[in-house]
Amino acid sequence: MYCNITSCSVLGVDPIPINVEVDVSPGLPSFSVVGSPGAEIKEAKDRVFTALKNSGLGAPLSKITVNLYPADLRKDGTGLDLPIAVGILISSGQLKTEIIRDTWMIGELGLNGEVKPVKGVLPVVAKASSLGVKNIIVPAGNAGEATLIRGINILCATDISSVYNYLKDPNSAPLDSPEYTDDSESDDLLSPEYDFIQVSGQETAKRASIISAAGFHSMLMSGPPGVGKSLIAKCIPGILPPLSEKEKIEMTTIMSVAGKLSDKKALIKSRGFEAPHHSITVHGLLGGGATPKPGAVTLAHRSVLFLDELTEFDRHTLDALRQPIEDKKVHISRVNYQVEFPADFLLVCAMNPCPCGYYPDRNKCNCTEPEIKRYLGKISGPVLDRIDLCVEMTPIKLSDMKAGNNTMSSLEMRQKVISARNMQKKRYANTAYRFNSELKGSDIEKYCHLGEKEKALAETLYEKLSLSLRSYHRMLRISRTLADLDESEEIQIKHLYEAASFRPNPSYWQKM
């Protein structure tokens, strides 16, 4: 006997509906799975058989064939255990039900028959809902994320026998159908774990952070060890503006696919902080694998990607960042298909200015010029070119720390960032742009309008600082953000000067 159950697998972050066809026929006992199953799915037969046996449901000693449609698409993950088990129950005649016609199911089975949580439930439920499916059976452990989606009946399964009983008679043995409960209202944003008020001095770095957050400009801090580079980076998520509803779902989807959602607080409400170690590979950073998994850039979507010790990263790894920085997504190609991961992150980097870490303080630094040159050479020109704000930090004296602590708190800085973002929202209302840092080509002249005096100054800066055209445009974009922070429609002289002060110093990066 044959039956067909719909489930869903996830490719990248995109859900792909899968038809699980099960046929049980007389013949020598065998179990074969066809339709490009991955290793986990081939193993499913042992899990399914044992789970059925241990739940007191019989597994037939017949010829069992499972086909996964579309058969040419490689499938991975353990979410197909549950539909295969139910398919066997129906095909072997143990279960008669009509419900599976408008019900999807997903879940992994334990040997005792328990239904265990799987990765990527959120996009699957969203897909089912958008296709007008009535019910979806998900593992109880994934209830938190599944209930974020409205317009579909979520049924939570704890073990295979409860699913069996439900399908047999939905009225007498209903499955738990929880509702979404919004317990907290963005509370974690109001008091960020790392607050700029904890940072003494370092005005330049703070200033760069606020510009970076307001216009989504990437940033590089250089300074000796222990100066507070990492602390400042950790403070940045706290001054980024709140997430929109759409962005929250995007981020939660990625975390669901990566299996990083906690059961209780499923919806992600605050921006994250992703800090991969410098030994990370290209695949770890961009994503990859036989069936592509999201990398660090995708986990940092709409959040901060912090690369500490930038010069210690493999040069190829850093160079691979260029495409996601430009496109804000990662393309991964496999023979049969292509996967696209979103990767719209705010790049924040930190490094020492020289191998020993103390340049230009020649009292501590003994590095020779060729040594420093070699050290800086680890960061290729194209990568440096994509960094908007460069800042040097020096250690602060204890006496100065006590004296002038008129620091803004993260909350105050965030207010400024939000108002600057609102100005950008208004300006770019009917365009594809969201932030000043995204402006390209002729739109730079259009949106970064300069008065006569300002234009003359911009030209002087271009000549005197021997800027490239790219760094000239970068200066204009940053001064646009500075003007937005001042809530000024026009870019002023002081904005241009300040923007220019954040350029990478050519005499350090090239001549050294």
User: Which window, 87-95, 128-136, 152-160, 501-509, contacts other proteins (CB under 8 A)?
Assistant: 501-509
**Is residue 366 involved in binding other proteins (CB under 8 A)?**
yes
Q: DSSP string spanning 59-110? A: ---SEEEEEEESTTS-B-SSTTHHHHHHHHHHHTTS---SGGGGEEE--EE-
- Would you say how long the chain is, in residues? 512
State the nearest-atom distance from the C-beta of 438 to other proteins, in Å: 24
Q: CA of 398: how far to CAs of 252, 361, 395, 403, 433, in Å?
A: 43, 18, 9, 9, 44
Kindly write out the interface string for residues 463-492 of this chain, putting x where it contacts other proteins by CB under 8 A and - elsewhere: -xx---------------------------
**Is residue 396 involved in binding other proteins (CB under 8 A)?**
yes
Give the separation between CA 100 and CA 104, rounded to whole angstroms.
7
State the nearest-atom distance from the C-beta of 230 to other proteins, in Å: 17
* Nearer of residues 167 and 354 to other proteins, judged by Cβ: 354
**Is residue 402 involved in binding other proteins (CB under 8 A)?**
no
Q: What dihedral angle (degrees, nearest 10) is formed by the CA atoms of 3, 122, 322, 75?
A: -20
Mapped onto helix, strand or coil, the DSSP state of residue 54 is: helix
- Provide the token pair at 129: 């809902």
* Nearer of residues 304 and 467 to other proteins, judged by Cβ: 467
**Is residue 258 involved in binding other proteins (CB under 8 A)?**
no
User: Which window, 75-83, 256-264, 418-426, 502-510, contacts other proteins (CB under 8 A)?
Assistant: 502-510
State the nearest-atom distance from the C-beta of 324 to other proteins, in Å: 25
User: Which window, 72-80, 108-116, 394-402, 444-452, contacts other proteins (CB under 8 A)?
Assistant: 394-402
* Residue choice 19, 65, 97, 207 for contact with other proteins (CB under 8 A): 207
* Nearer of residues 319 and 498 to other proteins, judged by Cβ: 498
Give the separation between CA 332 and CA 330, rounded to whole angstroms.
6
* Residue choice 171, 184, 363, 430 for contact with other proteins (CB under 8 A): 363
State the nearest-atom distance from the C-beta of 435 to other proteins, in Å: 21
* Residue choice 35, 201, 287, 288 for contact with other proteins (CB under 8 A): 201
Which residues are CB-neighbours of 196 under 8 A, at least 6 positions away? 206, 209, 232, 235, 238, 239, 407, 408, 409, 410, 413
* Nearer of residues 140 and 387 to other proteins, judged by Cβ: 387
User: Which window, 305-313, 314-322, 431-439, 456-464, contacts other proteins (CB under 8 A)?
Assistant: 456-464
**Is residue 359 involved in binding other proteins (CB under 8 A)?**
yes
Q: State CA 132 to chain mean position distance.
A: 28
User: Which window, 45-53, 121-129, 130-138, 495-503, contacts other proteins (CB under 8 A)?
Assistant: 495-503
Q: DSSP string spanning 203-217? A: HHHHHHHHHHHHHT-
The phi and psi torsions of 10 (rounded to 5 degrees) equal -120, 130
DSSP code for 510: I
- Provide the token pair at 493: 């002289």
**Is residue 390 involved in binding other proteins (CB under 8 A)?**
yes
State the nearest-atom distance from the C-beta of 310 to other proteins, in Å: 12
- Provide the token pair at 346: 């705010």
The sign of the torsion formed by the CA atoms of 111, 116, 120, 126 equals positive
**Is residue 357 involved in binding other proteins (CB under 8 A)?**
no
Give the separation between CA 508 and CA 24, rounded to whole angstroms.
73
Q: CA of 3: how far to CAs of 67, 265, 268, 450, in Å?
A: 11, 37, 38, 69
* Nearer of residues 203 and 327 to other proteins, judged by Cβ: 203
Give contact residues for other proteins (rule: CB under 8 A): 201-204, 207, 222, 353, 359-364, 366-369, 390-394, 396, 400, 403-404, 460-461, 464-465, 493-494, 497-498, 500-501, 504-505, 507-508
